[in-house]
């Protein structure tokens, strides 16, 4: 049987593309409008998505004000509050919140995810990040971001503390015997008493064990320690692979790390982020994408191009081809990718800049058929277990995926026609972890 694939939906920002809010017919406030968010979540649930995934940042994005003022990102809901609200207007779809191990406390994080998991009857996931935006430090009393290696060592310790706190209570600890007056069995309560390099946390957590045991652990770090952490503890990885070749290498790398650790490969799903632009014809889809890119202001666009090239591009002729660039000490591979992209697609400087200023990662642009073909190639080529779908604009870009791509994948036997279980673990085909301190059903 053909391998099934998994679909997550990237919803913060509600479109990754900086031109999205200007697209004809788009909701300009889609990123920060509860009625829209509710409609999107329900549409994704009708499309049987595994989860919706909310990225998160702890500072207004670190870009020049001229670019920032054109971006919808500074206004958005906070993940725990938004996803708790959406838990009440959906029934099956998973709810993945991003939370930082650098700028928060394990007691708070463990508790909020446990609470979200209870409120949603087992649909919570935690996208563990060490926080990519260094400006966040300034909002938390620090001068600089914590050093990269320290961030990941703290993250590893943090995750183990959070899991330990989730396991504070045996699943059957709460007896609630009205006759005897005993509410819980003290023998079924574990005090963590953790003391480590970065954290000291006594416990126990003041909430019962989550319905999923542990909410699903998601990770998106791309560096060497990021991949290693994923191999050790992630159950879903949001990959940033932008070509099939990259995807295969990343997939093989992370799964090989799991082999070394003795973790079954099947206990981790790798979902690259992908912008999906659907047309009736390939030409129509490309025209939509071009239109979208054209909505990126040239000032922001050229700033992105300059960063990618490691060379000031503001003097280039916008309507000419990319000129020769003298060598700099910027990342050579990054620059070469940009030059190759311009050549491959025959882009002018303006088009190239707008591509980079809009969204330059993996994109599937075509008909439902060609998109399904590409998705299948990634799945069968062991480059992905599914995708974290990004929408080009809202609401139409989302509805196109739900109403065209999903049915095509269903016809091909690649995607569920209905949810088979109720929890996010069920959707992802992941088992419920046993409590680290108590054997199941072995109540005293």
Ligand X SMILES: Cc1cc2nc3c(=O)[nH]c(=O)nc-3n(C[C@H](O)[C@H](O)[C@H](O)COP(=O)(O)O)c2cc1C
Residue 135 CB neighbours (<10 A): 14
Contact 112, 165 (CB under 8 A): no
Give yes or no for a contact between 285 and 366, defined as CB atoms under 8 angstroms apart: yes
115 binds, among ligand X, a copy of itself, none (CB under 5 to 8 A by kind): a copy of itself
Residue 80 as a binder of ligand X (CB under 6 A): the answer is no
Measured CA to CA, the distance from residue 138 to residue 134 in angstroms comes to 8
Select 142 or 249, whichever has its Cβ closest to a copy of itself.
142
Distance CA 103, CA 32 (A): 24
Determine if 240 is a binding residue for ligand X (CB under 6 A): yes
| Residue 56 counted as an annotated binding residue | yes
Total of residues contacting ligand X (CB under 6 A) = 16
- From the CB of 386, what's the least distance to a copy of itself, in Å? 27
Partner from a copy of itself, ligand X, none contacting 82, C-beta within 5 to 8 A by type: a copy of itself
Indicate whether 85 belongs to the interface with a copy of itself (CB under 8 A): yes
Among 71, 132, 369, 422, binds ligand X (CB under 6 A): 132
Among 273, 279, 357, 358, contact with ligand X (rule: CB under 6 A): 273
Question: Applying CB under 8 A, does 139 fall inside the site for a copy of itself?
Answer: yes
Binding status of residue 348 toward a copy of itself by CB under 8 A: no
143, burial (CB in 10 Å: exposed 0-12, middle 13-18, buried 19+):
exposed
String marking each residue 166-205 x if it binds a copy of itself according to CB under 8 A: ---x----x-x-x--xxxxxx--x---------xxxxxx-
- Are 380 and 3 contacting, i.e. CB atoms less than 8 angstroms apart? yes
Q: Is residue 36 near a copy of itself by the rule CB under 8 A?
A: no
138 forms part of the interface with a copy of itself (CB under 8 A): yes
Residue 220 found at the interface with ligand X (CB under 6 A): yes
Q: C-beta of 219: minimal distance to ligand X in Å?
A: 7
Task: Check residue 223 for interaction with ligand X (CB under 6 A).
Answer: yes
Helix, strand, coil percentages for the chain (3-state, nearest 5) = 45, 15, 45
Instruction: Say how far apart CA 74 and CA 151 lie, in whole Å.
Output: 25
| Token digits of residue 188 | 């079924």
Classify strands 200-201 and 236-239 as parallel, antiparallel or unpaired: unpaired
Interface with a copy of itself (CB under 8 A), residue from 77, 166, 316, 378: 77
Helix 34-46 × helix 79-87 angle, to 10°: 60
Q: Is 118 in the site for a copy of itself (CB under 8 A)?
A: yes
130 is in an annotated binding site: no
Question: Are 268 and 236 within 8 A, CB to CB?
Answer: yes
13 scored as a contact of ligand X (CB under 6 A):
no
# chain residues binding a copy of itself, by CB under 8 A: 71
> Does 371 help bind ligand X (rule: CB under 6 A)?
no
Closest residue by Cα to residue 236 from 211, 271, 274: 271
Q: Are strands 216-219 and 200-201 parallel, antiparallel or unpaired?
A: unpaired
Contact 423, 121 (CB under 8 A): yes
- Choosing from 4, 42, 84, 399, the residue that interacts with a copy of itself (CB under 8 A) is 84
Binding residues for ligand X restricted to 133-162, rule: CB under 6 A: none
Q: Which residues between 40 and 69 bind ligand X (CB under 6 A)?
A: 55-57
CA distance 131 to 152: 10
Residues facing residue 7 across a β-bridge: 387
Cα 391 to Cα 15: distance, rounded to the nearest angstrom: 5
**Residue 131 binding: pick among ligand X, a copy of itself, none (C-beta 5-8 Å cut-off by kind):** ligand X
What is the C-alpha R_g of the chain? 23
Residue 63: CB minimum distance to a copy of itself, A: 12
Residue 104's binding partner among a copy of itself, ligand X, none (Cβ under 5 to 8 angstroms by kind) is: a copy of itself
Residue at token pair 């009708």: 46
Q: How far is the CB of 379 from ligand X (least distance, A)?
A: 18
Nearest to 22 by CA among 388, 303, 393: 393
CA 196 – CA 11 distance, rounded (Å): 35
The yes or no reply on residue 91 touching a copy of itself (CB under 8 A) is no
> Could you say whether residue 53 binds a copy of itself (CB under 8 A)?
no
Does the annotation flag 152 for ligand binding?
Answer: yes
> What does each C-alpha distance from 271 to 7, 238, 347, 379 come to in angstroms?
8, 5, 29, 10
8 sits near ligand X (criterion: CB under 6 A): no
Candidates 130-138, 198-206, 305-313, 397-405 — which segment interacts with ligand X by CB under 6 A? 130-138
C-alpha–C-alpha distance, residues 167 and 234, integer Å: 18
Contact partner at residue 290 from a copy of itself, ligand X, none, CB < 5 to 8 Å by partner kind = none
Least Å from the CB of residue 307 to a copy of itself: 20
Residues annotated in a binding site for FMN: 56, 98, 148, 152, 223
Residues annotated in a binding site: 56, 98, 148, 152, 223
Residues that bind ligand X (CB under 6 A): 55-57, 98, 129-132, 220-223, 226, 238, 240, 273
């Amino acid at each position: 049987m053909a391998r099934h694939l998994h679909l997550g939906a990237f919803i913060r920002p509600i479109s990754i593309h900086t031109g999205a809010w200007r697209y004809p017919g788009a909701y300009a406030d889609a990123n920060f409008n509860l009625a829209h968010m509710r409609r999107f979540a329900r549409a994704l649930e009708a499309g049987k998505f595994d989860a919706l995934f909310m990225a998160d940042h702890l500072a207004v994005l670190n870009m020049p004000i001229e670019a920032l003022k054109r971006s919808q990102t500074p206004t958005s809901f906070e993940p725990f509050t938004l996803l708790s609200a959406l838990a009440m207007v959906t029934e099956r779809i998973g709810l993945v919140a991003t939370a930082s191990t650098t700028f928060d406390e394990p007691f708070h994080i463990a508790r909020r995810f446990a609470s979200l998991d209870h409120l949603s009857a087992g649909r919570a996931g935690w996208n563990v990040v060490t926080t990519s935006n260094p400006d966040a430090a300034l909002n938390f009393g620090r001068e600089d971001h914590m050093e990269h290696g320290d961030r990941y060592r703290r993250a590893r310790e943090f995750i183990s503390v959070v899991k330990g706190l989730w396991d504070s209570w045996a699943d059957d600890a709460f007896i609630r015997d009205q006759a005897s007056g005993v509410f819980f069995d003290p023998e079924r309560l574990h005090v963590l008493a953790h003391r480590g390099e970065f954290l000291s946390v006594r416990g126990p957590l003041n909430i019962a064990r989550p319905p999923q045991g542990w909410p699903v652990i998601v990770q998106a770090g791309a560096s060497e320690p990021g991949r290693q952490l994923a191999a050790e503890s992630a159950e879903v990885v949001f990959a940033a692979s932008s070509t099939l070749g990259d995807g295969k290498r990343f997939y093989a790398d992370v799964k090989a790390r799991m082999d070394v650790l003795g973790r079954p490969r099947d206990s981790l799903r790798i979902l690259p982020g992908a912008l999906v632009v659907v047309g009736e014809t390939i030409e129509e889809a490309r025209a939509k994408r071009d239109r979208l890119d054209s909505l990126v202001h040239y000032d922001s666009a050229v700033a992105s191009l300059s960063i990618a090239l490691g060379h000031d591009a503001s003097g280039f002729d916008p309507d000419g081809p990319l000129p020769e660039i003298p060598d700099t000490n910027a990342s050579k591979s990054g620059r070469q990718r940009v030059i190759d992209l311009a050549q491959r697609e025959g882009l002018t400087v303006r088009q190239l800049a707008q591509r980079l200023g809009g969204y330059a990662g993996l994109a599937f642009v075509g008909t439902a058929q060609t998109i399904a073909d590409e998705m299948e190639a990634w799945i069968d080529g062991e480059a992905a277990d599914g995708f974290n779908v990004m929408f080009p604009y809202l609401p139409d870009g989302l509805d196109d995926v739900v109403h065209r791509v999903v049915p095509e994948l269903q016809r091909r036997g690649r995607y569920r026609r209905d949810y088979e279980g109720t929890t996010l673990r069920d959707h992802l085909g992941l088992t419920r972890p046993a409590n680290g301190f108590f054997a199941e059903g072995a109540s005293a």
